[in-house]
Amino acid sequence: MSNASVIGAYHTAFGAFTRPDRETGALIESKGYYDLLWEAARGAIEDAGLEPKDIDGIWLGTAFPEGFVDQAHPAPLALEIDPALRFVPTQRLEGACASSSVALYNAIYAVESGRFKRALVLGVEKMTSVSTQVMTALLARASYWPEEGAVGLTAPGMFAAYAQAYQAHYQISDAALRRAFAHVSALGYRNGAKNPLAHFGPGGLAERKGLLTAEAILALPDEGPGANAVVAAPLRLHDCSLVSDGAAAVVIAPRGAVAGREVHIAGIGQTTEVMRMGQRAQLYRHDAGIEAARRAYTEAGITAAAVEAAEVHDCFSINQILCTEALGLSAHGRAGFDYTEGRFTHEDHCAVNLSGGLKAKGHPVGATGVSMHAMLFKQMMGEGIGQTKAQPPAVTATLNVGGSGVTHCATVLRREA
């Protein structure tokens, strides 16, 4: 059982904070990488009831700042929020889209060692400063480059391969798969439409276009304006996560070290899958995700049945299905049908992606892991942002995935009585 707890959290708004000017086309930035990082850092320290001088170590998860914003060696930037942080050790962790869960776990090891008492863990990414084409090429670098990215495989292509394998293995018809994906996306859009910090939040694109039901998504045309066009078959536009800017942060401390708000990090599991997709036995199941969840559940002394809310890595609709199964919330081959039957809403025993997930909250890749933990911390404290359950969940779980299903980080959080 881990000996660390989350004692404070902060989440910036997620969105596209660099947009072309309507008239000139020139890019206008409303929030940059640095603004996001500093806002999250200040916010989490304040939320924990601490001051910067109380922080004795900083861990930053961020995936591609060298490419997105020309910034290498980004962890020391966190010190700029306050002179009292001078000399505090900082480190940057990278695990593609799981970067900030990896950062969190390394901070946990440091706190558990007894060497650190108050660790600030940050996740940040700024993706909209480059074109979709450049962004896609950067993300592809998290593949086994010589055999995958270099020959044109992109993130949608990688997860399309999972979708094809899943469909073939479980013998799911095209129509049933498409329906399941639409239900997954609609649930994300409905939850996101309640979340004021979401990229597709209240009054956002999904709500404005009336895409809060699977039927509405299924009724979209294949081509033309407003189409749900194929991006990488069978994945369509509304099966893809958003390209977002944003940051989140948590403060962790030894379990029981503070009086007051505390969520115990009851169990963690981090696993790594073979990187080359072509060398894996199959692509219809996240074996490494299953093992990460098993480790986290074992450490926490629970089973999947205890989980009341989960944030899972829906970078593409198929991955929400695979992650739901890896966490044991659905049987293998069944998650798509469970979503189609209306499970995993805020009214269910276990709600999935109350935040709107990567599909609607947004997916600033390096920020996503800490974002999941920050959102669940708020839910568990009865301070849920956006969609909430009737009762704040006492036990929650995350599954954050990096690369083409390579780095898997599962966490179990439990509210202290």
Task: Enumerate binding residues for ligand COA (CB under 6 A).
Answer: 97, 132, 136, 139, 155, 205, 231, 237-238, 240-243, 315, 363, 365
Q: How many CA atoms lie within 13 A of 404 on its CB side?
A: 30
The nearest distance, CB 329 to ligand COA, in angstroms, is 21
For ligand COA, the closer of residues 395 and 401 by Cβ is 401
The nearest distance, CB 392 to ligand COA, in angstroms, is 30
Q: Are 76 and 91 in contact (CB under 8 A)?
A: no
For ligand COA, the closer of residues 228 and 270 by Cβ is 228
The nearest distance, CB 324 to ligand COA, in angstroms, is 17
> Which token pair is 20?
């072309």
For residues 239 and 396, give the distance between their C-alpha atoms in angstroms, rounded to a whole number: 25
Nearest to 174 by CA among 216, 227, 236: 236
For ligand COA, the closer of residues 244 and 396 by Cβ is 244
The nearest distance, CB 186 to ligand COA, in angstroms, is 12
For residues 206 and 125, give the distance between their C-alpha atoms in angstroms, rounded to a whole number: 23
What's the CA dihedral at 317, 356, 270, 408 to 10 degrees?
20
For residues 163 and 148, give the distance between their C-alpha atoms in angstroms, rounded to a whole number: 17
The nearest distance, CB 403 to ligand COA, in angstroms, is 8
Q: Are strands 230-232 and 235-236 parallel, antiparallel or unpaired?
A: antiparallel
- H or E element: which one contains 361? none
Cα 370 from chain centre: 7
> Which token pair is 401?
């995935």
Distance in Å from the first CA to the final CA of the chain? 16
> Which token pair is 150?
């270099």
For ligand COA, the closer of residues 190 and 238 by Cβ is 238
Question: In 3-state terms, the chain is what percent helix, strand and coil (to 5)?
Answer: 40, 20, 40
For ligand COA, the closer of residues 111 and 365 by Cβ is 365
For ligand COA, the closer of residues 231 and 252 by Cβ is 231
The nearest distance, CB 159 to ligand COA, in angstroms, is 7
| Helix (H/G/I), strand (E/B), else coil: 315 | coil
The nearest distance, CB 168 to ligand COA, in angstroms, is 22
The nearest distance, CB 257 to ligand COA, in angstroms, is 36
For ligand COA, the closer of residues 47 and 239 by Cβ is 239
CA distances to 6, 364, 401 from 264, rounded to whole Å, are 6, 26, 22
For ligand COA, the closer of residues 129 and 241 by Cβ is 241
The nearest distance, CB 339 to ligand COA, in angstroms, is 17
Environment class of residue 56 by beta-carbon count within 10 Å: exposed (0-12), middle (13-18) or buried (19+)? middle
For ligand COA, the closer of residues 97 and 375 by Cβ is 97
